[in-house]
């Protein structure tokens, strides 16, 4: 996979691409990341990429020309151009999984008061990471890149990715590690039993319980397999 990140602050991303899993994914050839300075695409001799909005208003807006030329220069036949904006659809784990299967993603990071709206005609998808406003699209671009890259085959152990919270529509079951007991705080006996069938059943039930308790909204939109649907209904009844 190749990811192009278009931004006016490419240095903002350098620690991100040189750290932890992202660095390893790059070193092993699972992903290639290019940091593209939007100022390299402007025709303005002062490298200016923003201007005041027509009609008046506070702040500055990223101009159409450099955004248009950046997309035209970077987009290929198998590219998907993504605009990071509060107006976009909310990014979630299902979308991360879909995007991880693509060959080339172009992330456009905004800044200031937003984009010249004409650029919307040249993007494939607008995404938001939440119902709040940030200074710019750099942090959302990193969040998307991280969520997508970790799902690219080979980057993580497959079982680790498959059992993540939200990957199957539910929160992950609670986890414990050594010691088995500390100051009266004990690890559940089932996890010490060595019975993998019982452990698997316990984990599935706990995933449902945790989701119902902490994020019941997740159950509204996800299409679950019949056994999970039955388990959800069973847990709901036991909680009444």
Give domain status of residue 218, yes or no.
yes
Task: Compute the chain's Rg from CA coordinates.
Answer: 22
Report which secondary-structure segment, H or E, holds 99.
helix 93-99
CATH of residue 220's domain is 1.10.1270.20
116 catalytic residue (yes or no):
no
Angle, CA 126 vertex, CA 125 and CA 128 arms, to 5°: 135
Residue 74, pLDDT above cutoff 90: yes
pLDDT at 118 over 90: yes
Is 163 contained in some domain?
no
113 and 195 together in one domain: no
pLDDT at 125: 98
Asked if residue 172 and residue 154 are part of one domain, the reply reads: no
Is 67 inside any structural domain? yes
Quick one: pLDDT band at residue 239, thresholds 50, 70, 90? confident
Does the active-site annotation cover 126?
no
Q: Is the pLDDT of residue 103 over 80?
A: yes
Told to judge if 150 belongs to the known catalytic residues of this protein, a careful annotator would answer yes
Between CA 119 and CA 86, with CA 92 as vertex, the angle to 5 degrees is 35
| Options 51, 92, 126, 164, the catalytic residue | 164
What domain count does the chain have?
Answer: 2
Residues 179 and 77 in one domain: no
Q: Same domain for 131 and 182? A: no
**Mean pLDDT score of the chain, rounded to an integer?**
93
Which of 158, 188, 210 is the last residue before a domain boundary? Answer: 158
Q: Is 146 in the active site?
A: no
Structure tokens at 72: 């035209």
Asked if 106 and 188 sit in the same domain, the reply is no
CB 206 within 8 A of CB 200: no
pLDDT at 162: 62
Residue 119 lies in a domain: yes
User: Are 96 and 153 members of one domain?
Assistant: yes
Q: Do 134 and 195 belong together in one domain?
A: no
Residues 52 and 138 in one domain: yes
Name residues whose C-beta falls within 8 Å of residue 7's C-beta, 6 or more positions apart in sequence.
13, 35, 36, 37, 38, 109, 111, 136, 137, 138, 141
Q: Which of 129, 158, 187 is at the close of a domain?
A: 158
The residue out of 138, 158, 178 marking a domain boundary is 158
Do 141 and 198 belong to one domain?
Answer: no
The tokens describing 97, both together, are 């999984």
> CB–CB of 62/110 below 8 Å?
yes
For residue 23, which phi and psi values (nearest 5 degrees)?
-60, -45
Q: Is 24 inside a domain boundary?
A: yes
Catalytic residue, chosen from 86, 92, 146, 174, is: 86
| Candidates 69, 113, 126, 146; catalytic one | 113
Do 192 and 135 have their domain in common? no
Q: Write out pLDDT tens, residues 127-169.
A: 999 999 898 999 999 999 999 999 999 998 765 666 666 778 8
Q: Are residues 208 and 150 in the same domain?
A: no
Cα–Cα distance for residue pair 120/82, rounded to 1 Å: 10
Quick: pLDDT tens for 14-62: 999 999 999 999 999 999 999 999 999 999 999 999 999 999 888 899 9
Query: Both tokens of residue 122?
Result: 């040249």
Give the CATH number for residue 130: 3.40.1280.10
For 195, the domain range is 168-239
Are residue 36 and residue 152 in the same domain, yes or no? Answer: yes
Q: Is residue 73 in some structural domain?
A: yes
Among residues 26, 39, 47, 150, which one is catalytic?
150
């Amino acid at each position: 996979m190749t990811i192009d990140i278009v931004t006016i602050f490419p240095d903002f991303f350098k620690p991100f691409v040189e750290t932890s899993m992202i660095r390893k994914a790059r070193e092993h050839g699972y992903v290639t990341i290019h940091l593209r300075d939007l100022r390299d695409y402007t025709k303005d001799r002062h490298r200016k990429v923003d201007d005041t909005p027509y009609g008046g208003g506070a702040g500055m807006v990223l101009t159409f020309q450099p955004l248009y030329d950046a997309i035209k220069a970077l987009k290929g036949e198998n590219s998907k151009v993504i605009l990071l904006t509060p107006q976009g659809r909310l990014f979630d784990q299902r979308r991360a999984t879909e995007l991880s299967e693509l060959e080339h993603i172009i992330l456009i990071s905004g800044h200031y008061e937003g984009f010249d709206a004409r650029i919307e005609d040249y993007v494939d998808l607008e995404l938001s990471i939440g119902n709040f406003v940030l200074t710019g699209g750099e942090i959302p671009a990193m969040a998307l890149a991280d969520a997508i890259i970790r799902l690219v085959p080979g980057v993580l152990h497959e079982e680790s990715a498959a059992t993540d919270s939200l990957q199957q529509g539910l929160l992950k079951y609670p986890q414990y590690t050594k010691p088995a007991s500390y100051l009266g705080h004990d690890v559940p006996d089932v996890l010490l039993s060595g019975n993998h069938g019982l452990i698997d059943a316990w984990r599935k039930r706990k995933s449902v319980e945790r989701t119902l308790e902490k994020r019941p909204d997740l159950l509204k939109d996800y299409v679950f397999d019949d056994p999970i649907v039955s388990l959800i209904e069973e847990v709901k009844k036991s909680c009444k």
